[in-house]
Structure 1
């Protein structure tokens, strides 16, 4: 199964990341190690192996509680102006995502970008985005559900 292979890759990547790194910084580090590891894999072979279009796995690495999902989109999908509830790492395994990232929640202040296979982006909590995902895309999403509101910073 693809989720087992992805879990193994994430676990190996996690071993390269300092335990004290959390939140968005953790996801950024994970993104670079993960994409390097994914470049060696061909995900087209997984098309016919599994009929599942959505798989989810919960993992904890130190202070980082991750919800790892792999979703295969049988049809194109558009999600308009959704808020990221938690820090999020989006990685395209195959297919394509077009993202609009809104600055200060304003319609006229947005940045558009495209994610191609084996590319990704980290979005921080409370970011507003619109997504367009093309048919037959395979998307890996890693949500870090760590609550950062109780962190005390000592100076």
Structure 2
């Protein structure tokens, strides 16, 4: 049953994954390197040469400006000054977004933007931080 759900999620989010794949492939001549991360259900393009730094998830593709997705990073709440929080693993945070995409598919981006975009106010980012901290709670709405 889990394999069927994963397959359906991969298919449902495939239009966004295709856009991420295109962005990753365009970056290969500029030094990006692709690596399949089964645990994250994603193809990761490391050393992605554009953007302010960090990572962005597009379906089952993660574009990461650094060399190691397993690096520590701060939560959005910590960076916004909402309290001291220990660093989280960037891979865990981005994996939560992969899961969110697999449920919401092409609806993810409009909902993400409607919830505030890249911001501590965004429920998708808070859920991804929670999942990275605890290993639970990647869904952005209370169950």
TM-score, scaled relative to structure 2: 0.26
Q: Determine which structure has more spread, i.e. the larger CA radius of gyration.
A: 1
Higher RCO, Cα 8 Å, sep 6+: 1
Greater share of helix residues, 1 or 2? 2
TM-score, scaled relative to structure 1: 0.25
